[in-house]
Amino acid sequence: MQLSPRKHPLKITLSNRQSFLKRLSVLMNEGYLLPTALTLLLPMHTKQPSEAIEGVTAILRGGGSAAEILRFLGFKEQVLFPIEIADYHGRLGESITAIAYSFSRSEQIRKKLKNILLYPVSLLLLTAALFLFFRTSYVPNLTELMSSMQRGEESNAVPAYLLSLPDLFIGFFVLFAVLVVLYRKLLATRPPDVQISWQLSVPITKGFVRLYWSQSFARELGTLLHSGVSLQESLELLQKQRYNLTIQYMAGHIRNEVVMGLPLSTAISRHDFFEGDMASFAQQGEAAGYLGKELVLYSELLMERIEQRVQALMKVIQPTFFLIIAMCIIGAYLAILLPMYNLVHTI
């Protein structure tokens, strides 16, 4: 098994990766070998079928793994990490089926989030454009009219800053997005222990990253154990893989403690980068003699928790945007009606 990925000068862009993985899993489970399945599927999912097939052939001739092939086809860590582990335990077809299902769920959540954000974000941008028109065309004329009808210090100009509320909110979101991008770029340059420490120190992200790390670790370790691989060998494999450095770091720490004679459940309980109940599930599996199966079931439970949290977050996002738009509209009413109300009292 190739544990360090090779670099290839060309990467192929696939269309509809979700369908590609589903079809690949179907063909693999029907008994097709990976090269044959890819030869059948690539012409349907890329505009460069000849280059794609030649690249896949070159990787296979060089002794490359399935993970390297999918990396060449443009897949990221979410797919490459479990595929690399599947190369070792030999259940590649089953792993691709599970990956296709997980990838499909992730894509559905991403599309749902996009649809939820599309309308309120568009409405906020439209409101900002409309308010810009008011500030540049309507407000100066109204201010001039009010100044001509009032005297000196009694003049009440239109508080145009209230019409700048959409700009303020948009600026805040842009600044937040820039900070997130910079944070992620800086995070990627740090070693795994620093990455873990930073992500656990952010209240917004620590719950999600714990769930994600625990789910990935439990799924791959459980699959290896369920396939008959020993615990120490499974942890060593997770430590040697190169597509998920965070899991690599975690597996190294857990393996060191298991080698010292500690049970897996005790080793897990000594680290705060796992979910709090993961140790108890591992302990149940150890007691029953089905540790691998217990970890696989636990990973499925964690996936459900992740989806529930994402769904709860999406229920908050859209009302928040509508609340912001409502504040902008109220600000516009105040900006225009208050000076006119004062003008009526002056006349």
In sequence order, what are the residues at sequence separation of 6 or more whose Cβ sits closer than 8 angstroms to the Cβ of residue 333? none
Positive or negative: CA dihedral 179, 185, 190, 194: positive
Quick one: tokens of 284? 């149940």
pLDDT, tens digit, 9 for 90 and up, residues 313-343:
888 887 888 888 888 888 777 777 776 666 6
For residue 76 the two structure tokens come to 């990221």
Residue 73 sits at φ, ψ, to 5 deg, of -85, 5
Indicate the pLDDT class of residue 49, thresholds 50, 70 and 90: confident
Contact status, residue 234 vs residue 296, Cβ threshold 8 Å: no
Mean pLDDT along residues 260-280: 89
d(CA 20, CA 224): 25
Cα→Cα distances 33→38, 93, 317, Å: 9, 9, 45
Taking 70 as the threshold, does the pLDDT of residue 139 lie above it? Answer: no
Single-letter amino acid, residue 93: G
In angstroms, the CA 233 to CA 343 distance is 82
Report the chain's mean pLDDT, rounded to a whole number: 81
Residue 136 has pLDDT above 90, yes or no: no
Q: Is the pLDDT of residue 21 over 90?
A: no
Compare 247 and 117 and report the one with higher pLDDT. 247
Single-letter code of the amino acid located at 137: S
pLDDT above 90 coverage of the chain, percent: 10
Alpha helices in the chain (DSSP H): 17-29, 34-45, 49-61, 66-72, 77-89, 92-133, 139-149, 165-188, 192-200, 203-226, 231-240, 245-259, 264-269, 278-288, 291-346
pLDDT tens for 214-246 read 988 998 888 888 888 888 888 988 888 888 888
Residue 182 has pLDDT above 90, yes or no: yes
Q: What is the pLDDT of residue 298?
A: 93
CA dist 156 → 136, 143, 150, 161, 337 (Å): 18, 8, 8, 14, 12
Give SS3 for 243.
coil
Residue 147, pLDDT score:
64
Distance of CA 21 to the CA centre of its chain: 19
Which value, in Å, is the radius of gyration of the alpha carbons in the chain? 28
Quote the percentage of the chain above a pLDDT of 70.
Answer: 86
Amino acid letter at 98? A
Q: Of 10 and 196, which is predicted with more confidence?
A: 196
Asked whether residue 135 carries a pLDDT value surpassing 80, the answer given is: no
Longest C-alpha distance within the chain, in Å?
90
**87 vs 65: CA distance, rounded Å:** 7
**Helix (H) or strand (E) segment spanning residue 228:** none
pLDDT at residue 178, as a whole number: 92
- What is the arithmetic mean of pLDDT over 276-298? 90
How large is the average pLDDT for residues 170-184?
Answer: 88
Q: What is the pLDDT of residue 9?
A: 45
Give the model's confidence band at 1: pLDDT under 50 very low, under 70 low, under 90 confident, else very high: very low
Predicted TM-score of the model (pTM): 0.73
DSSP string covering 40-65, please? HHHHHH-S-HHHHHHHHHHHHHTT--
Q: Return the C-alpha torsion angle 100, 102, 242, 51, nearest 10.
A: 30
